[in-house]
Homo-oligomer: A and B are copies of this chain.
Amino acid sequence: MPVRSTDQILHKAAWLYYTHGLRQDEVAQHLNISRASVATYLRRARETGIVNISTSTQLFADDVLARELEDALGLAAVWIVPEDRHAMDPTAEMPVVAAAVFLELINKGDRVGVAWGRTVYHLADVMPYADLQGVTVVQLCGNLGAPYSYRPDQCTTEIARRLNAEGINVYAPLVLSSEQLADALRNEPVIREQLATISDCQLALYSVGGIEDDSHLVKCGALTAAEMHALGETGAAGVIAGQIIDAEGQWLDCAHNRRCISADLGSIRAIAKRMMVVQEDSKFEPLVAAIKGGFASHLVVTTSMARRLLDRWNSEDGNRRTA
């Protein structure tokens, strides 16, 4: 009855059980331990990503609506999460689907950028464990305290931890009090180099922020409700990685953006797979702006949001034709 603390034994148990298909008591015999221990080891092996159990997200991708959206908006792939789901907690479903899709989109050796928002937080919370050594998770924007469970850096770290990947954080605040300071900090070698690597990412993960008085940026204290309101008047339409974009998805030249330390929008657009997840129906206009701005190649949305998007694009097509 040897007592080893290494996780060598986790690997052995997992291998015999999952790959060879032995029963737990058989595994116990092989390893000279009790069956109860085997059960514990197997749970740990699953939790640490030694064993990976993944379900295809096909279910959410093979909807006619999804195909239509891809064609109409020119997206690489769309996943549609139905709202009803047979009395299953509806708000909980989206991040779960998104997490699974995210995992499917990651390739070995990839560098992935992760932004910030309530959606991303929830996603991190339900992210399955996996063994993605060689993957790097980089933070797309500066840091800020949040009224939710994680700060941006904690969020990156948590995702990296669950994936057994390397996490790289941005050691700077998201918003500074003056443009000068923001400029100076952006030019600090550590920060500059880090932001420069963002366009090397193969995959980005984010949601789009709204510009209402109760939007995320306001709740986190980056902007006051009044400031946000004013921005709305001057063309703000949504938020990408902490930065304000206009209705066409372009960077808005405003005080907030100039004081912001985050990934250059051009760098984000340069990322091959840009995965956008949108939960709330209220984010329709911001989402339209983000899509026009080229911030989404892979989209995860609800059925109703998908319908609205399709309607909008069809009507714009109609307008263009009649014009």
Contacts and interface: CB of A to CB of B under 8 A. Distances in A.
A54 B56 contact: no
A59 B11 contact: yes
Contacts of A12: 59
A264 interface: no
Given A20-B96, A96-B19, A56 B107 contact: no
A53 B51 contact: yes
A100 interface: yes
A88 B30 contact: yes
A131 B8 contact: no
Interface in A27-51: 30, 45, 49-51
Contacts of A20: 88, 96
A55 interface: yes
Given A12-B59, A19-B96, A52 B50 contact: no
A300 interface: no
Contact of A56 (B51, B53, B59): B51
A189 B51 CA distance: 45
Contacts of A56: 11, 14, 49-52, 131
Contacts of A131: 56, 58
Interface string A66-91: 00000000000000000000101000
Nearest to A108: B107
Q: How many copies does the complex hold?
A: 2
A18 interface: yes
Nearest to A89: B20
A124 to B, nearest CB: 16
Interface in A228-279: none
A284 interface: no
A80 to B, nearest CB: 13
A58 B59 CA distance: 31
Interface of A: 8, 11-12, 14-15, 18-20, 30, 45, 49-56, 58-59, 86, 88, 96, 100, 107-108, 128, 131
29 contacts: A8-B59, A11-B55, A11-B56, A11-B58, A11-B59, A14-B55, A15-B55, A15-B59, A18-B54, A18-B55, A19-B55, A19-B96, A19-B128, A20-B88, A30-B86, A30-B88, A45-B55, A50-B56, A51-B53, A51-B54, A51-B55, A52-B53, A52-B54, A52-B55, A52-B56, A53-B53, A58-B131, A107-B107, A107-B108
